[in-house]
Structure 1
Amino acid sequence: MDLRNSRGSLIRGGLLGLAVGAGVCYCVYRATSRKKRNEGAEEAGLKGEIIQKEHEDRLCSTSWGEAQIATPEQAPILDDNIFSSTRQKDSSCLQQGMNFPASPDGLEANHIQSLIYLLESMEDPLIQEQALITLGNSAAFSINQDIIRNLGGLSVIGSMLSVPADNIKEKALNALNNLSMNIKNQEELKRYITKICEETSSSPLNSELQLAGLRFLTNMSVTNDYHYMMSSSIPCFLYLLLDGDERTQTQVLKVLVNLSANPAMTDHLLSARAPFLLSLFDGCTNKEVLLRVLVFATNLAQHMNKESAIASQHSEDSIFAMIWGNSTQCTQKLASLLHHQDAEVKNQVAKLIML
């Protein structure tokens, strides 16, 4: 029994050391590279938060599209030791110390392989959480995204969504979020969209778990490829827009804006029930929320065939009825917003009025 405890302590110590080396330096990387990322990102109405420059053109190609990278909030405890890189099940191999690179971009395939093995084979929640944090941090680098995929890590991380503990699912979603910045990864990660939509719907309102799910869906909705898999969740997204706090409203609007940029989604969105929507067209609405609501409406107006939309059967509380069915009220609200103190809001209102 003492031997088991000793081995468990050694494994935990090694893993915590790995997590810190990657986690702390990742935060430094984020701070120093943010300016460079923003300068390189293509303007598309609302700038997407994208880490890998080589994916920006592909992921920002959708009109008004947004992408968001997840940043794990926990900074692990510093420890210079790390477990062995072998995948052998002999626990003595896991006790061997090694010098681990200080930055997550210095991770080698054998380090990542060991993390995936621990995540796959250990049921200790502490190990699972730290492994997910470190894998998520390392996935901020495109080379590691490919390594994780090639080592079968996407399915291992995805399996953590079935763990009952919310903190484990949240860290898994953060890791999948960063991994979803890779086009080849998205092709595999699409299998989790339906499950994550359901998880987002059933999670406690405004929880970190719910926000993590929305961030993943934001990245997966930057291109049009997987919008059809989210169409049935539009009522859930609108519920979160109604009852969520400002953080949740902002995040769910990023998904809705991306969906509205796809002409194929226009009818799905116009027919959705949202009797509250016009109330957000107000100068008292949070600026980030207001701006995205206006972009959402602008996208729909750009893609909408007004004659066919009017001829279609829309309920009295549908998005179409709320905006275009209440033309007088909508016009009054937009006219008032032309005097908004924020220039971006005024410009977006002008674009909507001109359509």
Structure 2
Amino acid sequence: MPNLLREHGCLTQLSQLLRQQVQNLSNMSHNASAVEDDPEKSKMSEKFMNLLATAINNLSSNEQNHKQFEDCVPMLVDIALEEETGESVRLSSLQALTNLSVMEHHHNHYTRIIQKLYHFLDGQSPGIRLQAAKILVNLSCNPELVPHMLAAKAPACVLELLRTGADEALVLRWTTFLANILTTVKESHLSASSLPPDDKAPSPETMYSALYGMNSIGQIKSKVFLLCRHKNENIKHQASRIYQMLNSK
């Protein structure tokens, strides 16, 4: 079915519909009085956007469709970054961005959302937190993006997500993410001077400082040492990777 839809141009039409809808929402956000006068129209636009993002998410599970969806990636990033975006639309957009980040083809569009993904991890929505973590895991497999991740302001939950009693799905993604970027730091010989200045947060606040700072490295090692005994074998494996990387730094 996905091949049939692709051959008949449905993926291109979805991209065009998404572009139109993003423009419509942008116009509405700049015309607050119009939204107040017609709240039903705003609600329908959000519902339609949700359907579009969900359709792109479903079709992007087939990696052969990723090329046709390249134009959608920056638009989905814009939607996720927009403060006015509702939670359901934001979640659908992040789900699509998760599938579209499995391969490295479109990773150049993701650098500007890294900081926001950290912000989402500090949020209250379990679904959005998990999707943010999944995207970070996918991006962390690309060594070229790791300096950007290290340069961004670290989330406040760096240690919280290493607690043995924290949500397993989040802990697994977070430990995988950390293990991946720590491995790249070692293999690529990255240091604080390797961080891109345009993306860099104040030095004490960077993800690099959160991992390698004198006040934090010991706390992280203590947390992951306990996770090395976790009942979840995958978490145990990723925690062991982190512990090994921090000890070899």
Q: Which residue of 2 aligns with 1:288?
A: 169
Q: Which residue in 2 is equivalent to 1:299?
A: 180
Determine the structure 2 residue equivalent to 1:142: 2
Counterpart among 236, 240, 244 of residue 350 in structure 1: 240
The answer as to whether partners of 2:53 and 2:92 remain within 8 angstroms in 1 is yes
- Work out the CA distance in 2 between the residues paired with 1:327 and 1:169: 43
Q: Partner of 2:212 in structure 1?
A: 324
Q: Distance in 2 between matches of 1:148 and 1:252?
A: 32
- SS of corresponding position for 2:48: helix
Deviations 1:302-335 (A, max 9, x none): 1114753145467112111112222211111111
Distance 2:119 2:11 in 1: 38
Structure 1 residues 151 and 248: CA distance shift in structure 2, 3 A:
closer
Q: Secondary structure at the match of 2:153?
A: coil
State the percentage of identical aligned residues. 23
- Quick check: 2:46–2:89 contact (8 Å CA) kept in 1? yes
TM-score w.r.t. structure 2 length? 0.77
Summarize the Cα distance change of 1:310–1:149 in structure 2 as closer, same or farther, 3 Å threshold: same
Bigger fraction of residues in helix: 2
Write the deviation string for residues 5-50 of structure 1: whole angstroms up to 9, x where unpaired: xxxxxxxxxxxxxxxxxxxxxxxxxxxxxxxxxxxxxxxxxxxxxx
Residue 160 of structure 1, CA deviation? 3.7
Matched, 1:241 2:121: yes
Higher gyration radius (CA): 1
Q: Counterparts of 2:72 and 2:161 in 1: how far apart (Å)?
A: 31
Alignment of 1:212-223 (within 5 A): 212-223=92-103
| Counterpart contact for 2:161–2:174, Cα < 8 Å | yes
Give CA deviations for 1:182-238 in whole Å, capped at 9, x if unaligned. 455422321122221121122568821111000111111111111111101111111
Flag the 1:288–1:225 CA change in 2: closer, same or farther, 3 A: same
CA contact (8 A) 1:148 1:154 kept: no
Whole-angstrom distance in 2 between the partners of 1:335 and 1:205: 39
State the Cα distance separating 1:166 from its structure 2 match: 0.8
- C-alpha distance in 2 between matches for 1:241 and 1:259: 15
Shift of 1:299: 0.6
SS of match in other structure, 1:308: coil
Task: Write the mapping of 1:1-355 to structure 2, written as runs, cut at 5 A.
Answer: 141-149=1-9, 152-158=12-18, 159-164=20-25, 165-183=45-63, 185-202=65-82, 207-276=87-156, 277-305=158-186, 307-312=189-194, 315-325=203-213, 326-355=216-245
Q: Structure 1 residues 211 and 148, CA, compared in 2 at 3 Å: closer, same or farther?
A: farther
**Structure 1: gaps spanning 5 or more residues:** 1-140
Cα shift readout 1:116-144 (whole Å, capped 9, x = no counterpart):
xxxxxxxxxxxxxxxxxxxxxxxxx3233
Change (3 A) 1:188 1:343: closer
Q: Distance in 2 between matches of 1:203 and 1:142?
A: 33
Q: Tell me if structure 1 keeps the 8 A contact 2:11–2:68.
A: no
| RMSD value, Cα | 2.4
Q: Distance in 2 between matches of 1:177 and 1:333?
A: 35
> Does the CA contact (< 8 Å) of 1:204 and 1:210 recur in 2?
no
8 Å CA contact retained: 2:175, 2:238: yes
Structure 2 residue identity aligned to 1:270: L
Q: Tell me, in whole angstroms, the C-alpha distance in 1 between the residues paired with 2:222 and 2:86.
A: 32
Count matched residues: 215
